[in-house]
């Protein structure tokens, strides 16, 4: 029996965020990488073997695209019923059920949402769905995002997705909810820092400084992010609001990310990492001191 034969009865649905898949591209590349289907925004769904809680991988399903899709459909059907009748909002704490709703939005047909369904895929055990026109519910969802961040549990994505005629798409909250912009921006930065924390641990190497992203709340209440660059040191720098530059004499200066990149020019290279980072080269060794 091949690796794909019988897979439909062996698996359960698994939710992935783009940042986790980016880390896995470093720690489990190629054939070891999870096989996933794209949902929308930063969200993907794959399969886990029930017996070992291990992902169904690209190597495992190579040349068996139809078999993989059949297994996803079977696992979606097996996820159970979605209790949505008349509900004005949904908090789905069972991962397989949440994934099934994302893959098969027709499950939401009986819900009493105010406007198009908007999914907030914050964590595997916390996918929240509210109506696009329910401003009060959306504000409450942002509270939950902060609670999940403070709980230090694994996160999926801070980017909400809305159901359209063509499937799930990024929810345009800046245009729809300008009064909540500061709160959305804060949640995006909290989740970004958490994603960079996970990436930093996965990228550790002796010859390059992996700069962590940090949170700073300004006196105005605005939440920003920053990272430090030890000048002259080869560094992988996260995308943040501000870069603190420490020169060898110990003097500190601050530049916005855009200012830093403009000043560095072609010397700084955007990597293919996800979350995105820039490689900042170090100083060339001084031959006179060799």
pLDDT at 39: 98
Stretch 203-218: mean pLDDT: 93
pLDDT at 290: 46
pTM over 0.85: yes
pLDDT at 116: 97
pLDDT at 5: 56
Is pLDDT of 43 > 70? yes
Give just the sign of the alpha carbon dihedral 189, 191, 195, 198. Answer: positive
Is pLDDT of 2 > 80? no
- Per-residue pLDDT of 74-100, as tens digits, reads 999 999 888 888 888 999 999 999 999
**Domain range annotation of the chain:** 7-77, 89-180, 192-289
pLDDT bracket for residue 283 (50, 70, 90): confident
Stretch 194-209: mean pLDDT: 92
More confident residue, 248 or 210: 210
């Amino acid at each position: 029996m091949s690796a794909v034969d019988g897979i439909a009865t062996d698996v359960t649905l698994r939710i992935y965020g783009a940042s986790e898949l980016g880390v896995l591209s470093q720690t489990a590349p190629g054939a070891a990488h999870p096989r996933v289907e794209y949902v929308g925004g930063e969200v993907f769904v794959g399969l886990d073997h029930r017996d070992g809680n291990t992902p169904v991988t690209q190597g495992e399903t190579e040349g068996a695209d139809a078999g993989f899709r059949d297994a996803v459909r079977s696992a979606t059907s097996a996820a159970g019923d979605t209790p949505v009748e008349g509900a004005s909002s949904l908090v789905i704490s069972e991962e397989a059920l949440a994934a099934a709703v994302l893959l098969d939005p027709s499950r939401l047909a009986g819900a009493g949402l105010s406007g198009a369904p908007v999914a907030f895929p914050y964590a595997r055990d916390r996918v929240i769905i509210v109506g696009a026109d329910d401003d009060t519910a959306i504000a409450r969802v942002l509270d939950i995002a902060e609670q999940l961040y403070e709980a230090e549990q694994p996160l999926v994505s801070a980017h909400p997705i809305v159901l359209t005629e063509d499937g799930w798409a990024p929810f345009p909250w800046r245009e729809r909810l300008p009064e909540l912009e500061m709160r959305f921006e804060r949640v995006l930065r909290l989740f970004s820092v958490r994603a960079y924390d996970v990436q930093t641990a996965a990228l550790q190497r002796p010859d390059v400084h992996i700069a962590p992203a940090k949170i700073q709340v300004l006196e105005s209440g605005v939440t920003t992010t920053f990272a430090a660059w030890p000048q002259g040191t080869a560094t992988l720098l996260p995308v943040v609001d501000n870069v603190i530059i420490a020169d060898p004499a110990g003097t500190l200066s601050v530049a916005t990310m855009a200012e830093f990149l403009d000043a560095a020019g072609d010397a700084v290279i955007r990597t293919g990492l996800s979350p995105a980072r820039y490689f900042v080269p170090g100083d060339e060794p001084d031959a006179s001191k060799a």
